[in-house]
Amino acid sequence: MKCPVCNHENGDAHFCERCGSNLTQTVSSPSPVPNPESAASEPEYTRWSSTQATSSQAPVPSNTPSVSTQKQQSTDSTDTQDHASAGDNSSNQWNNIVQNEKVQQAKEVSKQYLSYFLSVLARPYQAMKTVGDQHSLNGWLTMALIAVLSSTYFLITFSRIGMDGLFIGGFIRPLLFTAIILIASIALMYAILKIEKITFRPKTLVAQFGTLLVPAVVSLVLANLFIIISYSIAISLLAVSYIIIFVALNSVLFQYPLNRTKAAIDSMYSVLIANVVVFFIVYQLLGEVIIGLIGLMLSPFGRL
């Protein structure tokens, strides 16, 4: 072993033969102490990179949103907007479907009523004996047409002669008056059949009465057309339409087996009372208007 002090070769001895230095202490050299100059001579970019690495490994504060959280929030907001737009689109589609269904139902009702109207027009009395509850809607539609067409007749007439209160007096009042006349007719028939203790169905009664009123609709349509040609023909057709109401009232009543019980009043008189009441209502509600139109018909202007 060589002595680190005098560089003498000593072999396996523990002490140097020349200078006596302890060879066992020199073998285990102390741990090197870092040289401050070498630390100072370390490149600047090395210290900067280690500092950045340490700072990058530092934990992120909990109150600072991460990039993934921001992405998740933006994704959630986008999904919410998509769901809202999808909901709006679905509601709009549902509204369109409902509207289309209503339109289709209206078309089907109009087609059914047109076929019913044409089949009844040829033989109204025979059709009246075969109708049932399912035709009550057609009966109400027929009565509604009568009210609207009669009001249209008065509206056109008032507009041609230049009367004041055109819409109220020429359309609204005749519409309400005609509706009252028709409803009163149904109520009187109902009351008479109840007095006679006859079993019947109210819907069937409406269907029967409406079936017999189909010719009145045709008469009113012609009356509205003939206003342009001649007032005399138009007023005559209007009168025919109201006469049909009386005929329908009596026809419906007499097709039931009246006078089966010993009532306080004979069936003939009960039907007569019903006709008198309807006539009184017609006279009170439309009498003045019709009489005025008849006077206009007899004037030289009405004969044009």
pLDDT of residue 267: 83
Residue 40 scores a pLDDT above 60: no
For the entire predicted model, the pTM comes to 0.60
pLDDT of residue 260: 65
Share of the chain above pLDDT 90, in %: 27
pLDDT of residue 230: 82
pLDDT of residue 27: 47
At residue 297, φ and ψ (nearest 5 deg) are -65, -40
Angle between helices 173-195 and 231-254 (to 10 degrees): 20
Looking at every residue in the chain, the average pLDDT score rounds to 76
pLDDT of residue 53: 47
Residue scoring higher pLDDT (102 or 156): 156
Give CA–CA dist 216/153, Å, rounded: 13
Residue 49 scores a pLDDT above 50: no
Helix, strand, coil share (%) of the chain residues, nearest 5: 75, 0, 25
